[in-house]
Structure 1
C-alpha cells in the first residue's frame, strides 16, 4: 500500500539516459524499466523514481533539491563513483552528524553521500 500524502517518487533530468542507467547500475546496483527512449524508472532504491531526457542539470547552486545517499563506507562508495565516471565536486568533510561528500553523475547532476554518527547511535539503541 502506498502511504497517503508521503513523498513517493522523484523525477531527475538526464542528458543521456543510457549512460545514466550504466552509472547507477555500476555504483548502486540499480535496475531500470524503460518507457520509450526518453524515460526510465527505478524502484526499491529507498525512493522510487525516474530519469527523463533533459539538457538541464540539478545542483544546489541552481536551487535544486539535493538527493543524499547513505553509505557505511564513504571511501568505498567514492571509489565506485569515480570508477563509474562520476566526479567528486566536494571532497569528504565533517559536519555535526558525521561526514559526507558531493558528486556529479555523468549528466552533471549533483548528489551527496553521507555516513555518520546517527548510524552508530541507532546501533547502540538496538544493541
Structure 2
C-alpha cells in the first residue's frame, strides 16, 4: 500500500535544525553525513536536507513496495518525473511533479542499499 511516510525539509544548517526539533519535541535523529539527518522508526519520519541540491520546498515522500511500477503509474497518470530513480542509504527513490505543480518523492525501502 502506498502512503506518505516521510517528509523532507530543506535546511541551511542541519545540526542547528536537528537540535531544534530534538529539543522542541524530543525527536531522535540519525545523521547520514554532514548534510542530512533524519528521524527513523516513526509513523511518518522527518528528513533534514542541507545538501547543495536540496529542493527549496517541503517534499512529501510516498513509500511503495515496487518503485518501477510506481514510476510507470505516475507517468501514466500524467505526472512529470523531475528526478529519475537514484539510490540513497536505505533504498531508492524518484521525484515527480503532479498536474497541479506539486513535487513529491516516491521511495522503496531497501535496507542495506547504498
Normalising by structure 2, we get a TM-score of: 0.48
Higher helix proportion (structure 1 or 2): 1
Q: Which of these two proteins has the greater Rg computed from alpha carbons? A: 1
More strand by share: 2
